[in-house]
Amino acid sequence: MALFKYLISLEEKNRYSFYLAVFRIFVCFHLIKTILFQWAYLDILYGANSFVSPVPTFITELLGIPTHFLREHYQWFITAYLLIIVLYLFGIGKNLTALLLFLCYETLQRMCNLVLNGGDNLMKFIMLYMVFADSYQYFSIKAGQFRNQTLRRLSNLGSNLCVRAITLHFCMIYFWSAWHKIHADVWFNGVATYYTFSIGRFKGTPWNDFLARNGVFVTISTYFTLIVEVYFPVLVWFKKTRLTVVLCGIALHLGIYVFMMIYGFEIIFIMTYGFFFKDEEWQAFLNKVISRINRKARWKLPTFADINPEPQVYAS
């Protein structure tokens, strides 16, 4: 009965329309950035000369074409992929475009899975969840709602369940990461940071060697990581502790970004934190920031309400 009432409440309103749109924009720029960084090596990664053996992809299996077909014509595939990203960026095609983008992204991952990391894996699942969400109320060419009440409620339900799936998935990542760390001696004994900072691949700053020799820093940073991963899946659901644990998580990932040179992975995780806050919370925060800027700025910035035009109504 309680579950039924909860699902009914999710149908009333899309509680995360603003951040769904923000994350949609982030996804597009992140994917474009990745392709640009790989531009000089696309043939080695995805073409016929790839160092990865051909494996079946979702698209080749779905269409029944040979596995080497996409590698031989990877230029056309990358072109279509970039076009779909641009369409998704402007909200053109909406959920259908989101589905096509997910299929292309999943196919691209299968074509060269050796260059992937945990952030890419999380991004793939988030993109799958967002296929069922309305992330087009902001920053899209044409926002709209269904005229039919049933379709509108289903759209709201799908959007809210999408965000809940993302947040639960995110918490599970932290839980399993903490579970494995607790059972590893270097983490349990508080010395994991020493070994990590001593590896050449992770020396992001000239101070890494000095910090690795500092026992206080090594102990605090190691147990801080464990505490965040252990308690985040619990404390993030309570309003009084949510902001504190999110800020701790951001500090953790920014530290990894700076000191360990792990970039895309950390940015994806930091951006995912935004799904733990509803539209009302984002509205209050943004209006507060904008009001402070407007006090000193010559040109007044629009408030949250000003950038949220009344959406058009779709024909059912």
Say if residue 26 is in the same domain as residue 133.
yes
Residue 55 lies in a domain: yes
Say if residue 115 is in the same domain as residue 218.
no
Say if residue 20 is in the same domain as residue 125.
yes
Say if residue 106 is in the same domain as residue 188.
no
In 10 A of CB 12, how many CB atoms? 12
Residue 268 lies in domain: 169-284
- The pLDDT of 175-204, averaged and rounded, is 91
Say if residue 86 is in the same domain as residue 202.
no
Residue 313 lies in a domain: no
Residue 291 lies in a domain: no
Which region, left, alpha or beta, applies to residue 102 given φ > 0 means left and ψ of -120 to 50 means alpha?
A: alpha
Residue 289 banded pLDDT, cuts 50, 70, 90: confident
Say if residue 181 is in the same domain as residue 139.
no
* Strand partners for 145: 313
Residue 97 lies in a domain: yes
Say if residue 94 is in the same domain as residue 179.
no
Q: Say what the pLDDT of residue 310 is.
A: 52
Residue 1 lies in a domain: no
Condensed to tens digits (0 to 9), the pLDDT of residues 78-133 reads 999 999 999 999 999 999 999 999 999 998 888 888 888 888 999 999 999 999 99
Q: Say what the pLDDT of residue 1 is.
A: 66
Condensed to tens digits (0 to 9), the pLDDT of residues 259-276 reads 998 888 899 999 999 999
d(CA 68, CA 128): 25
Is the pLDDT confidence value at 252 over 60?
yes
Say if residue 232 is in the same domain as residue 110.
no
Q: How many domains does the chain have?
A: 2
Residue 280 lies in a domain: yes
Model-level pTM?
A: 0.89
Provide the percentage of residues in the chain whose pLDDT is more than 70.
Answer: 87
| Average pLDDT value for the chain | 87
Is the pLDDT confidence value at 159 over 70?
yes
Say if residue 180 is in the same domain as residue 66.
no
Condensed to tens digits (0 to 9), the pLDDT of residues 34-90 reads 999 999 989 998 888 888 776 676 677 766 777 678 888 889 999 999 999 999 999
